[in-house]
Homo-oligomer: A and B are copies of this chain.
Amino acid sequence: MLSASSSDSAAPEQDSAEPTLVGAPARPAPRFRLDISYDGTDFTGWARQPGLRTVQGVLEESLSKVFREPVQLTVAGRTDAGVHAEGQVAHFDTTAELDPAKLVHRMARFLPKDVRIRDVRLVPAEFDARFSAIRRHYAYRLTTAPYGAEPLQARSIVACRHDVDIDAMRAASRKLLGLHNFAAFCRRREGATTVRELQRFGWERDGDLLTAYVSADAFCWSMVRSLVGAVLAVGEGRRTPDWVGGLLNETERSSSVTVAPAHGLSLIAVDYPADADLAARNAQTREVRTVPSGESCCGG
């Protein structure tokens, strides 16, 4: 679902938008943080792709028109086609005159209704939406109602055909918490590590609605949907929590894990350190990337 390695052929533009190195002299153009939400249904994911409607493409085109200069966005989490975001974060640099509050109002009228710029903030030059992030939070939403998903929520809630055993799902999810090699849950990327620290994987029930909350320092490509798919197999009685735990011993993607549908997934928040700690965090993230065994394949 997320992708950030230079081998990501589907989204080469991301790399050209990388910021200058940490420690370089202060850039002349001020940096702005955007808080963004979108309904992923009618987008081919975040990353700009020629001829396709993507969130990055729509936002960069709109901002470039408003500023009358090219705008390039760097994003926290490059979501796949169909995946939503309620708390996406991006940054860009511009020397154009910019009143944050006015820009929010202006973009509210300018942008299509399925993508919103919720907030615009001037940030320190060290803020990097991708490299400064310390944690990503996703929600995955399902319903076990016999009639399916409520129509007004059907774009973001997946209908389960059967009821599920939430206690077994919670037991399975707990087995995955911590620092592990999540290779079984990740689409392979050449030279990219699949070691991640899964910090939260909890399930909440509200009537027929089930929500998984999944948080980690970063995620591999398709990881959240694979985690949810594996745990759902337990909820439906097809697998055991121990089977899920055993997947952590795999060294490559497991064909026995079903990737849950994209439209249940939403990026709900990204955490950043305090301004004073941004430079240290960037250095730490980049340091990890130079070590093959520790390289972050995406989102981190």
Interface-located stretch among A23-31, A106-114, A125-133, A172-180: A106-114
Copies of this chain, tallied across the complex: 2
Q: A150 contacts the other chain (Cβ, under 8 Å)? A: yes
Q: A151-B84, A155-B152 are in contact. Are A108 and B39 (CB under 8 A)?
A: no
Are A154 and B113 interface neighbours, CB within 8 A?
yes
Report 24 cross-chain contacts, Cβ distance below 8 Å, ordered by A residue.
A37-B151, A37-B152, A39-B151, A84-B152, A86-B150, A86-B152, A104-B146, A105-B146, A108-B146, A108-B147, A108-B148, A108-B159, A113-B149, A113-B154, A114-B151, A115-B151, A116-B148, A116-B149, A116-B151, A118-B147, A119-B147, A152-B155, A152-B156, A152-B266
Are B113 and A152 interface neighbours, CB within 8 A?
no
Chief secondary structure at chain A's binding surface:
mixed
**Interface of chain A residues 128 through 177 with chain B (CB within 8 A):** 145-156, 159
* Measured CA separation A86–B149 after assembly (Å): 12
Are A113 and B156 interface neighbours, CB within 8 A?
no
- Which chain B positions have C-beta within 8 A of A159? 108
Q: A38 contacts the other chain (Cβ, under 8 Å)? A: yes
Would you give the shortest CB distance from A282 to chain B, in whole angstroms? 28
User: A226-259, CB under 8 A of B: which get 1 and which 0?
Assistant: 0000000000000000000000000000000000
Q: A117 contacts the other chain (Cβ, under 8 Å)? A: yes
Q: A21 contacts the other chain (Cβ, under 8 Å)? A: no
Q: A274 contacts the other chain (Cβ, under 8 Å)? A: no
Interface residues on A, range: 20 to 34
Q: A276 contacts the other chain (Cβ, under 8 Å)? A: no
Are A101 and B146 interface neighbours, CB within 8 A?
yes
Residues of A within 8 A of B (CB): 37-39, 84, 86, 101, 104-105, 107-108, 113-119, 145-156, 159, 266
* Measured CA separation A171–B51 after assembly (Å): 52
Would you give the shortest CB distance from A245 to chain B, in whole angstroms? 33
* Measured CA separation A154–B148 after assembly (Å): 21
Are B151 and A113 interface neighbours, CB within 8 A?
yes
* Measured CA separation A105–B159 after assembly (Å): 12
Would you give the shortest CB distance from A277 to chain B, in whole angstroms? 28
- Which chain B positions have C-beta within 8 A of A113? 148-149, 151, 154
Q: With A104-B146, A116-B150 given, name 13 new contacts (CB 8 A).
A: A37-B152, A104-B147, A105-B146, A107-B147, A108-B159, A113-B149, A113-B151, A114-B151, A116-B147, A116-B148, A118-B147, A152-B153, A152-B156
- Which chain B positions have C-beta within 8 A of A149? 113, 116
